[in-house]
């Protein structure tokens, strides 16, 4: 038969308080971290999505490898907004483009001068890489159907966009969200 030994630990009057304070601190930190993780999950799943940019069609505004925060809440898309589009096309990948015109607007492009007109007014486009001289198979002037948007990349010489029937006008239901800020690289958060 084995003998069970009893051990008694004696505490000074302050030691139990210190032990309880340490345990309480650990539980508080754990609770705070759990709350922060849940809040981050809710924010990034319901409010923002993080999307990686692939390709050069949005240069100089966005570059290949940039990471952006995209908001799908309050989808009040305006002309000039940069959006993520999930409309099916031959490559079946989301694309990032700038909204140039909305339903009911008439788009005309003078490819010789490289100028874009919406409803007869020349667009001021300080964000483009080069003038719009590349044409595809869409004929202009073009009136954008209601419920759709006309989009183009900022790198007009290297962007497959609404100028091509492969992409065409985008049904607004296929707009995943609006690009809000650049997350990476972090030295330039703001997007114009």
Q: Is 57 marked active-site?
A: yes
In a domain, 151, yes or no: yes
Tokens of 184: 């990476």
- Model confidence at 4: pLDDT above 60: no
Of the candidates 32, 97, 165, 186, the residue annotated as catalytic is 97
In a domain, 191, yes or no: no
User: What is the extent of the structural domain holding 76?
Assistant: 53-184
In a domain, 10, yes or no: no
Instruction: Compute the mean pLDDT over every residue in the chain, rounded to the nearest whole number.
Output: 86
Q: Is the pTM of this model over 0.85?
A: no
**Residue % of the chain over a pLDDT of 90:** 58
Residues contacting residue 64 through CB under 8 Å, at least 6 positions apart:
53, 54, 55, 56
Of the candidates 57, 102, 148, 159, the residue annotated as catalytic is 57
Could you report the per-residue pLDDT of 113-139, keeping only the tens digit for each? Answer: 999 999 999 999 999 989 999 999 999
In a domain, 94, yes or no: yes
* Total of domains in the chain: 1
Closest to 172 (Cα-Cα) out of 151, 144, 148: 148
In a domain, 46, yes or no: no
pLDDT of residue 16: 56
Mean pLDDT of 163-181: 93
Q: Residue 161 belongs to a domain with what CATH number?
A: 2.10.109.10
Could you report the per-residue pLDDT of 38-62, keeping only the tens digit for each? Answer: 776 666 666 778 888 999 999 999 9
Q: Give the span between the Cα atoms of 33 and 19, in whole angstroms.
A: 21
In a domain, 64, yes or no: yes
In a domain, 5, yes or no: no
Q: Which residues pair with 152 in a beta bridge?
A: 98
In a domain, 86, yes or no: yes
């Amino acid at each position: 038969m084995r003998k069970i030994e009893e051990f008694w630990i004696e505490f000074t009057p302050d030691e139990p308080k210190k032990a309880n304070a340490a345990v309480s601190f650990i539980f508080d930190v754990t609770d705070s971290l759990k709350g922060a993780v849940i809040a981050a999950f809710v924010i990034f799943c319901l409010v923002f999505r993080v999307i990686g940019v692939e390709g050069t069609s949005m240069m100089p505004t966005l570059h290949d490898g940039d990471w952006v925060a995209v908001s799908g809440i309050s989808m009040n898309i305006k002309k000039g907004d940069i959006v993520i589009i999930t409309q099916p096309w031959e490559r079946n990948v989301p694309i990032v483009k700038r909204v140039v015109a909305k339903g009911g607007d008439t788009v005309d492009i003078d490819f010789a001068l490289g100028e874009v007109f919406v409803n007869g007014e020349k667009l001021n486009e300080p964000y483009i890489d080069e003038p719009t001289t590349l044409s595809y198979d869409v004929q202009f002037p073009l009136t954008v159907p209601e419920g759709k948007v006309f989009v183009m990349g900022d790198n007009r010489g290297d962007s497959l966009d609404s100028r091509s029937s492969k992409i065409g006008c985008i049904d607004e239901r296929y707009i995943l969200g609006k690009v809000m800020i650049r997350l990476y690289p972090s030295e330039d958060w703001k997007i114009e």
